[in-house]
């Protein structure tokens, strides 16, 4: 039995999310079905994170165990051939020790949320970014974002369907950058709650539009009450960028 670590890129628009679902296609199922076609084995693909429907991946890390003898390169090439026509690509494949786990060995996860700040509608970026027509103050958003950095009870920013044991999370980084008419919100932490990044971005957008102040954001955080959430951003602009491991 050999354990292989994969780096996966995917367009989340056709999927119900990463995790296998009974009611629609998933990234996990697409890769597992491809692996079965390649090896004849039924495998389970474990990932660093479970993205929602419509969320994209630039460098999701995952692993699977295979009995058949095969090199990492041949496995990567074969998976890419068999996963078609799904918008999924295996960017890298390496052998890892048996105790390496895509989820439990992960030390940090990095997300990026993309906002297009213009009046014109999206064309080729539709489903790949969140368009906001009203001008956004990126500096005010970045300053307010620092309120959320550190260890906090993020109940307000947590989906009611979240299965995490605790609402306590530590945000290592939350930056807002403007590049022309695009704003990038970059978030890093060991782990996130369900919908946490989207909820934080939604509230920061309210700050950027002048509808909320930094104090409003702080009050929402300290309320520890989901009903105090100002706005949950859509999944369109959210990308899982990468996962960090001790061996990297």
Closest CA to 177 of 169, 167, 186: 186
Query: What are 114's strand-pairing partners?
Result: 184
- In the residue annotation, 52 being an active-site residue is answered as yes
Q: What are phi and psi of 177, to 5 degrees?
A: -125, 145
**Residue 150, beta-bridge partner list:** 171
**Which one of the listed residues 11, 22, 52, 99 is annotated catalytic?**
52
Q: Catalogue the active-site residues.
A: 52
């Amino acid at each position: 039995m050999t354990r292989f670590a994969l780096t996966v890129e995917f367009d989340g628009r056709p999927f119900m999310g990463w995790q296998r679902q009974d009611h629609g296609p998933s990234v996990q199922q697409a890769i597992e079905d491809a692996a079965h076609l390649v090896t004849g084995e039924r495998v389970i693909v474990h990932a660093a994170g479970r993205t929602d429907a419509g969320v994209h991946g630039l460098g999701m890390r995952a692993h699977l165990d295979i009995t058949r003898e095969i090199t990492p390169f041949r496995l990567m090439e074969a998976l890419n051939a068999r996963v078609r026509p799904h918008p999924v690509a295996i960017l890298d494949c390496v052998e890892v020790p048996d105790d390496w786990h895509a989820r439990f060995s992960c030390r940090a996860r990095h997300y990026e949320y993309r906002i297009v700040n213009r009046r014109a509608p999206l064309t080729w970026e539709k489903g790949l970014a969140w368009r906001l027509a009203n001008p956004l103050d990126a500096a005010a958003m970045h300053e307010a974002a620092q309120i959320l950095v550190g260890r906090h009870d993020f109940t307000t920013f947590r989906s009611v369907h979240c299965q995490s044991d605790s609402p306590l999370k530590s945000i290592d980084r939350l930056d807002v950058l403007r590049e022309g008419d695009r704003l990038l919100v970059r978030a890093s932490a060991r782990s996130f709650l369900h919908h946490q990044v989207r909820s934080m971005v939604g509230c920061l957008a309210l700050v950027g539009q002048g509808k909320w102040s930094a104090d409003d954001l702080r009050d929402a955080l300290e309320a520890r009450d989901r009903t105090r959430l100002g706005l949950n951003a859509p999944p369109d602009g959210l990308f899982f960028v990468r996962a960090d491991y001790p061996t990297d």
